[in-house]
């Protein structure tokens, strides 16, 4: 894997700008270069679950115009060679007269997976693969996980005190983290496809689970353009029909309640009639919604990234089943104490230290007075 040069670095930067906003398509940056200068660039347009915008290669070619003939293209993923919501990028490159293509890595999508490269080479285009591969894979880690497993990339996120508590003994949890962490958390929501909580969180906190950003003109908070699908795991049907998380029309955000046959058919029908999605899924041995079944359901719907915001019981279930791919743990400089205070991760836990979930490639970032620890679960069951 070679380090990216100037032009591929620009393509990677373009991909990062749209990261998390192009699902179910990957975030791809593209740069067209002629005579040592950039003549066109683009990144995958934001998409919805029912369609999507143009690919980065097409936008870069359109920007380059006639200058694309005889030029080189730098792309962060193998150009597609199949027709979906948009025509093949390989056809567009050949029609534009591109003579050389550099891309970071092969697209694992079964409709591509080397066929794009083969088509270009068969037409006489020089192809180079591998530049910027590590960074390109990190940008599209959710897309790659989805293509490998059919399931979303699962991120567990929680904020806890130094002693691992997420609320006081009374259940009061506002706020464990500081204002800078809240801003970061809202920005994170604009880059994921779905956000999940358990019904207990709905009953205790009645959250909206919307993504909010600061309006640059007024300085006030407003709903972000991109809103995640809001998912509630509720095995027995306890979610109130007027819960904030089910509110329709909040920035175009949709809601899905994942339940089991143990819930009331009348309750499910009322939610569906009010515009809430309802998925009746298999139950696990404890009678709770099967998490693998939930991930399969979301994966089929085109959800690439699932952010699990807890509480501790839900986080514990995901960790117990080794379904977490990435962790964002915010540590606040406070001690809450209390034997009965809720913890960040409950569940069965590990009987031995050797069985504990360990993180790799960890980073630590300061968010005001809080510390953000990010890492990847090395033993995730879905790891490819």
Report the C-alpha gap between 208 and 380 in whole angstroms.
29
Sequence-distant (≥ 6) Cβ neighbours of residue 287 within 8 angstroms: 235, 236, 260, 262
Q: Exposed, middle or buried: residue 170 (CB in 10 Å: 0-12, 13-18, 19+)?
A: exposed
Asked if residues 124 and 95 have their Cβ atoms less than 8 Å apart, the reply is no
Whose CA is closest to 75, among 14, 144, 126?
14
The catalytic position among 41, 45, 57, 270 is 57
Report the C-alpha gap between 294 and 89 in whole angstroms.
33
Distances in Å between the Cα of 266 and the Cα atoms of 161, 271, 273 are: 41, 9, 10
CB atoms closer than 10 angstroms to residue 85: 12
Whose CA is closest to 174, among 196, 147, 205, 216?
205
Asked if residues 373 and 327 have their Cβ atoms less than 8 Å apart, the reply is yes
Whose CA is closest to 107, among 91, 125, 86, 89?
89
Phi, psi values for residue 298, rounded to 5°: -70, -35
Report the C-alpha gap between 145 and 325 in whole angstroms.
9
309 in active site: no
Give a three-class secondary structure readout of 144-161: HHHHHHCCCEEEEEEEEE
Beta strands 100-103 and 37-43: pairing type?
unpaired
Asked if residues 382 and 151 have their Cβ atoms less than 8 Å apart, the reply is yes
- Peptide bond between residue 180 and the one before it cis (omega within 30 degrees of 0): no
- Token duo for residue 369: 């007075």
Active site residues: 57
């Amino acid at each position: 894997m070679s380090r990216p040069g100037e032009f591929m670095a620009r393509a990677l930067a373009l991909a990062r700008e749209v990261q998390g906003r192009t699902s179910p398509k990957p975030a791809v940056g593209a740069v067209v270069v002629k005579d040592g200068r950039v003549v066109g660039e683009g990144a995958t347009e934001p998409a919805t679950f029912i369609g999507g915008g143009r690919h980065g290669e097409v936008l870069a070619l359109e920007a380059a115009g006639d200058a694309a003939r005889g030029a080189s293209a730098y792309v962060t993923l193998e150009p597609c060679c199949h027709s979906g919501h948009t025509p093949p990028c390989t056809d567009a490159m050949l029609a534009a007269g591109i003579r050389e293509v550099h891309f970071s890595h092969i697209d694992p999508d079964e409709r591509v997976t080397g066929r794009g490269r083969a088509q270009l080479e068969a037409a006489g285009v020089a192809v180079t693969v591998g530049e910027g591969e590590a960074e390109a894979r990190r940008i599209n880690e959710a897309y790659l996980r989805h293509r490998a497993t059919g399931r979303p990339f699962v991120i567990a996120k929680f904020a806890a005190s130094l002693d691992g508590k997420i609320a006081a003994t009374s259940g009061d949890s506002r706020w464990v983290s500081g204002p800078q962490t809240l801003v970061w958390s809202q920005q994170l929501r604009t880059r994921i496809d779905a956000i999940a909580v358990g019904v207990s969180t709905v009953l205790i906190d009645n959250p909206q689970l919307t993504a909010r950003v600061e309006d640059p003109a007024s300085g006030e908070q407003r709903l972000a353009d991109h809103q995640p699908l809001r998912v509630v795991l509720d095995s027995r049907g306890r979610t109130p029909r007027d819960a904030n998380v089910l509110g329709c029309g909040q920035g175009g955000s949709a809601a899905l309640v994942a339940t089991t046959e143990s819930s009331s058919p009348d309750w499910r029908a009322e939610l569906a009639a009010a515009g809430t999605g309802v998925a009746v899924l298999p139950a696990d041995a404890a009678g709770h919604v099967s998490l693998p079944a939930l991930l399969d359901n979301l994966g089929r719907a085109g959800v690439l990234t699932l952010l699990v915001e807890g509480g501790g019981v839900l986080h514990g279930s995901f960790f117990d089943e080794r379904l977490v791919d990435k962790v964002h743990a915010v540590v606040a400089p406070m001690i809450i104490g209390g034997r009965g205070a809720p913890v960040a991760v409950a569940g069965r836990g590990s009987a031995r230290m050797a069985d504990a979930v360990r993180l790799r490639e960890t980073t630590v970032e300061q968010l005001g007075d809080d510390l953000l620890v990010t890492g990847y679960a090395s033993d995730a069951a879905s790891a490819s």
